[in-house]
Amino acid sequence: MNIIIVGNGKVGRSLTRQLAGEGHNVVVIDRNPQVVEDVINDFDVMGICGNGASCEIQRQGGVAKADLLISVTQTDELNMLCCLLAKQLGCRHSIARVRTPEYTKQLEFMQKHFGISMLVNPEWEAADEISRILRFPSAIKLEPFAEGHVELAEIAIGGDNELIGKPVHMLHEKYRVRVLVCAVKRDDEAIIPNGDFVIKKGDRIYVTASRPELVNFMRALGLYRSRTRRVMIAGGGKVAYYLAKQMQEIGGCKVKIIEKSEDRAVELSEALPKAEVICGDATASELLDEQGLGVQDAFVALMGRDEENAILSMYATTKKVGKIITKSSRMSTNVLNGIGLESVISAKELATDRILRYVRALHNSEGTAVRTLYRIVDGKAEALEFSVPNEFPHTGVTFREMKLKDNVIIACIIRKNKVIFPGGDDCMEAGDTVIVVSSIQRLRTLQDIIE
Amino acid sequence: MNYQMLRYVMGQIFKLTAALMGVPLMTALYYRDDGAVPILVVLLPLLFAGYVMTARKPVNQTIYAREGFVIVAFAWILMSVFGALPFVISGDIPNFIDALFETVSGFTTTGSTLLPDVESMPMSLIMWRSFTHWIGGMGVLVFALALLPSGSAQSMYIMRAEVPGPSVGKLVAKTQLTARILYGIYIFFTVLEAVLLRLTGMRWFDCIANAFATAGTGGFSVLNSGIGGYGNVWVEIVITVFMLIFSINFNLFYMLLIRQFSEVLRNVEIKVFFGIYLTTTLLITPNIMPLYGGSFWRALRYAGFTTASLCSSTGFGTADFTLWPAFSQTILILLMFCGACAGSTGGGLKVARVMILVKSGVSEIRRQLNPRLISTVKLEGQVVENEQIRTQGAFFILYMVILLVSTLLLSMDRYSFDVSFSAALTALNNMGPGLGAIGPYGNFADFTPFSKLVIIFDMLVGRLEIFPILIAFMPRTWKKA
């Protein structure tokens, strides 16, 4: 596909890396010549220096023949203008990043009336992800599939975990739970395990299961933590606002936000009547102690700087806070994992995932397109949700007869709201939803998983 | 330094060089001449080495600017060494340095020769000699990029190091497709020229060899007496037109192809280039008229061909310009400096670079007059960044330093100043002929081996635009980062 990316900041660059790597023809437009220079040095793309909302520049980028324009510049208005122009100039689809909280309520309205294919709000995505973790804090991360019928949970295997030394196929016999280990991160590598795979200390396992099964599994492992009742948020930016709002809507959780700027604190307290907004510097440990960091169920570090977030999260670890979530915008997840911080949220990666999902779906119009996509194990593996179309040639063929590619696992099948963990005698049927986990990247259709 | 990647790319280049030697091999089989064995003796080991070296793909395929430069420099040097071997083995050029000189002169599209009698060689080796021009014109690595399955994302570093010109833009998003489009245009014009030459009555072998030599703006000819030896005005016209075509930025042909005519019309470099061509031709014509019996048309015929030959850096000859008046010879020397358009197969400083240098000079004078003046240099309606001006300034300084040092080294030989200077100049600009003994009908055979090595170095430096060769020979390049 021909894709134009306007703006090459953090999200733009991450998208460029991914989309160029997937073999699309990518044109990058940015105002800063140095940024353009860097991007053409690092990736196989064409770079244009200029204002992405100028017709001239868009034409130079070949907008008339483009399939998709993604605008991720700093300003929402510019992003939307880029998309509007592109549409008039003949681009088929467009995606804009819009993150001003005032616009979030009218996202759907704007999407429909402006004819923009998708509006992405990275901060909202981040808040959504955090609130999901807070509701099920036993896992490091949790991603929903098939409208929440199945979830993919990431679990760290600590030194005292009883799974250590056990092969994966024993899980079912031993714990009487229906979960499937579909990916393992070991020494920075993504492994798609078979039944004989033995779990080691320090692994991170990714399991799929329905929520009740997952709860049972965690209980059996002694990792279960009930949902968060008290959460402290350091930093009152956009993510904090969305998060507090989401937690309020769900109810049953007390939110405390610490914000340094008085004006912002007042703004937040006006917008979030139920939350407790404290005006103070969250980097002062006295303030955190005074505000009862030690008795919180969860601590979320959402300060502007990654360094501050990392250090505050480490401090919270010493105070034995049960669940700590760290926001990172530049530092890689690996670095933060390395210093013992498990749940790391990156708005950039979430927004990239969201857009990538759209691109993959767009790429294929045969009906087996990707419905949901999560990049797991630091982007080294992917979990994808497909629906099986009527004309799919392999329906009714048992998995024993079907030759799947290496490093591909069918995590589960959802048929008429029932979750099936497929064995050799099961098969796919039209109308099923299939969840595939794979370390081969760039799967586009269900057909791609078969040898 | 990513040695794994260096090995891998070199392996690919070996395979490619072996494949390209298939062209003279086929010629040898067709004419049943003595070239087949020497070519096979080089081709087969090269192919084998290439397959061994590329058997294992490097795990880490990341390359940076440093690897890009080194890969390009090594590829050119090794390719020239192996390309020279058939001449040595066949005994046509028994001395290795002489053979290397001839091959480097071919690959760098210089066209300086040291063979007094070309016609005595086997047909296949004459074809190989002309074919090296064609390979070197657009660049062997660009060819590799066009053919090989899309490799590392940083291939831009390689392309930038090889394609002539101050800045390299991509035509389309992918490097591979860009390389393919460039080669597509290149092949199209080469075939077109060969067909047109055939219509003038030339035999097919000469058509193809001369088309290769023109396309790369090289200048090796098939006859001892050069293009003048055909004595056919139509041949000269066709070759003149194509020498000019191959000195135009290839991006413009692509713009024509996708019907962006306004882009082409807006291009200033091409206007300046043709301005230079027409002005110099009209200056030289009256100046040389007395030599050709006062005939304006004959003078125009020789002047038009020679200026096209020199401003495109081809170096074909129809007339011996060493006999022309000093005024004409000086103009020709200035033409050598200026060279062709950026992004073409031609050599020299490139018109775009000269324009940037002159404009920044003028802007500097204005700034000296009024220190508070903000003055920007514009090219093609776009502001040239200060960074770019600095790079071009540094390029020009290095260029001059290399030119002068080479002249000094060559002056140790037994020739006069104009010969030494023009030998360095013609090598550095990938031109071909020089003044005096090395004019269009002379040759470089009588230089000492040391002088030949200096000229070989200059030719490579000139073709790869100075930096890659210098960087490859700097000890710092090979230290751990």
| Residue-averaged pLDDT of chain B | 88
Instruction: With beta carbons less than 8 A apart as the criterion, state whether B72 and B464 touch.
Output: yes
> Regarding beta strands A204-209 and A189-191, do their DSSP bridges make them parallel or antiparallel, or are they unpaired?
unpaired
Tell whether B150 lies on the interface with A, counting CB pairs under 8 A. yes
Tell whether A42 lies on the interface with B, counting CB pairs under 8 A. yes
Q: Is the pLDDT assigned to residue B288 strictly greater than 80?
A: yes
What ipTM goes with this model? 0.70
Q: Is the pLDDT assigned to residue B153 strictly greater than 70?
A: no
Task: Please indicate whether, in this complex, the C-beta atoms of B153 and A40 are within 8 angstroms of each other.
Answer: no
Mutation target vs A (from B66, B174, B260, B266; most A CBs, 10 A cutoff) = B174
CA distance A329 to chain B (A): 24
pLDDT: is B147 or B356 the higher one? B356
User: How far, in Å, CA of A321 to CA of A134, rounded?
Assistant: 13
| Residue-averaged pLDDT of chain A | 85
Facing A25 at nearest CB: one of B154, B155, B173: B173
Size of the A and B interface in Cβ pairs below 8 Å? 35
**pLDDT tens track for B217-234:** 988 888 888 888 888 899
Place of tokens 């110099």: B280
Strand partners, A301: A234, A326
User: How far, in Å, CA of B442 to CA of A261, rounded?
Assistant: 82
Q: Is the pLDDT assigned to residue B424 strictly greater than 80?
A: yes
Tell whether A34 lies on the interface with B, counting CB pairs under 8 A. no
| B235: confidence class by pLDDT, cuts 50, 70, 90 | very high
User: How far, in Å, CA of B46 to CA of B15, rounded?
Assistant: 7
Question: Nearest chain A Cα to B178, which residue?
Answer: A46
The structure tokens listed for A10 are 């953090």
User: How far, in Å, CA of B236 to CA of B210, rounded?
Assistant: 11
Q: With b meaning 16 or more CB within 10 Å and e meaning fewer, what string describes B356-387?
A: bbebbeebeeeeeeeeeeeeebebeeeebeee
Average pLDDT over residues B29-57: 90
Tell whether B175 lies on the interface with A, counting CB pairs under 8 A. yes
Average pLDDT over residues B285-291: 92
**How many Å is the maximal CA-CA distance in chain B?**
73
Q: What is the pLDDT of residue A418?
A: 83
Strand partners, B212: none
Strand partners, A29: A6, A48
User: How far, in Å, CA of B312 to CA of B110, rounded?
Assistant: 11
Average pLDDT over residues B117-145: 87
Q: Provide the residue count of chain A.
A: 451
Task: Please indicate whether, in this complex, the C-beta atoms of A21 and B157 are within 8 angstroms of each other.
Answer: no
Q: Which residues of B touch A24 (CB under 8 A)?
A: 173
**10-residue block means of pLDDT along chain A (451 residues)?**
91 90 89 87 86 89 90 92 92 90 85 87 89 85 82 83 82 79 85 85 86 84 82 91 87 88 90 88 86 88 90 90 88 80 86 84 61 79 83 81 83 84 82 85 76 77
Strand, helix or coil for residue B383: strand
Up-side HSE of residue A70: CA atoms within 13 Å toward CB?
26
One-letter amino acid at A332 equals S
Ordered structural domains, chain A, with CATH: 2-120 (3.40.50.720), 127-221 (3.30.70.1450), 230-321 (3.40.50.720), 352-449 (3.30.70.1450)
Facing A41 at nearest CB: one of B156, B176, B385: B156
Tell whether A18 lies on the interface with B, counting CB pairs under 8 A. no
CA distance B373 to chain A (A): 24
One-letter amino acid at A113 equals H
Q: Is the pLDDT assigned to residue B150 strictly greater than 60?
A: no
pLDDT: is B147 or B8 the higher one? B8
Q: What is the pLDDT of residue B303?
A: 93
Q: What is the pLDDT of residue A366?
A: 47
User: How far, in Å, CA of A245 to CA of A188, rounded?
Assistant: 35
**pLDDT tens track for A181-217:** 888 888 878 888 887 888 888 888 888 888 888 888 8
* SS3 readout for chain A: CEEEEECCCHHHHHHHHHHHHCCCEEEEEECCHHHHHHHHHHCCCEEEECCCCCHHHHHHCCHHHCCEEEECCCCHHHHHHHHHHHHHCCCCEEEEECCCHHHHCCHHHHHHHHCCCEEECHHHHHHHHHHHHHHCCCCCEEEEEHHHCEEEEEEECCCCCCCCCCECCHHHHHHCCCCEEEEEEECCEEECCCCCCECCCCCEEEEEECHHHHHHHHHHHCCCCCCCCEEEEECCCHHHHHHHHHHHHHCCCEEEEEECCHHHHHHHHHHCCCCEEEECCCCCHHHHHHCCHHHCCEEEECCCCHHHHHHHHHHHHHCCCCEEEEECCCCCHHHHHHCCCCEEECHHHHHHHHHHHHHHHHHCCCCCCEEEEEEECCCCEEEEEEECCCCCCCCCCECCCCCECCCEEEEEEEECCEEECCCCCCECCCCCEEEEEECCCCCCCHHHHEC
Tell whether A189 lies on the interface with B, counting CB pairs under 8 A. no
Task: Please indicate whether, in this complex, the C-beta atoms of A27 and B173 are within 8 angstroms of each other.
Answer: yes
Facing A45 at nearest CB: one of B150, B173, B385: B173
Question: Nearest chain B Cα to A3, which residue?
Answer: B173
Task: Please indicate whether, in this complex, the C-beta atoms of B153 and A25 are within 8 angstroms of each other.
Answer: no
pTM tops 0.90, yes or no: no
CA distance B173 to chain A (A): 4
Average pLDDT over residues B106-122: 89
Tell whether A183 lies on the interface with B, counting CB pairs under 8 A. no
User: How far, in Å, CA of A373 to CA of A389, rounded?
Assistant: 18
CA distance A6 to chain B (A): 14
Task: Please indicate whether, in this complex, the C-beta atoms of B153 and A2 are within 8 angstroms of each other.
Answer: no
User: How far, in Å, CA of A451 to CA of A70, rounded?
Assistant: 33
Task: Please indicate whether, in this complex, the C-beta atoms of A44 and B175 are within 8 angstroms of each other.
Answer: yes
**pLDDT tens track for A29-84:** 999 888 888 888 888 888 888 898 998 889 888 898 899 999 999 999 999 999 99
User: How far, in Å, CA of A264 to CA of A278, rounded?
Assistant: 11
Task: At B345, give phi and psi (nearest 5°).
Answer: -90, 0
CA distance A382 to chain B (A): 21
Up-side HSE of residue A25: CA atoms within 13 Å toward CB?
17
**pLDDT tens track for A398-419:** 888 888 888 888 888 888 888 8
Q: What is the pLDDT of residue A340?
A: 80
Q: What is the pLDDT of residue B169?
A: 66
User: How far, in Å, CA of A185 to CA of A164, rounded?
Assistant: 14
Q: Which residues of A touch B167 (CB under 8 A)?
A: none
Residue of B401, B402, B215, B399 lying closest to B313 (CA atoms):
B215
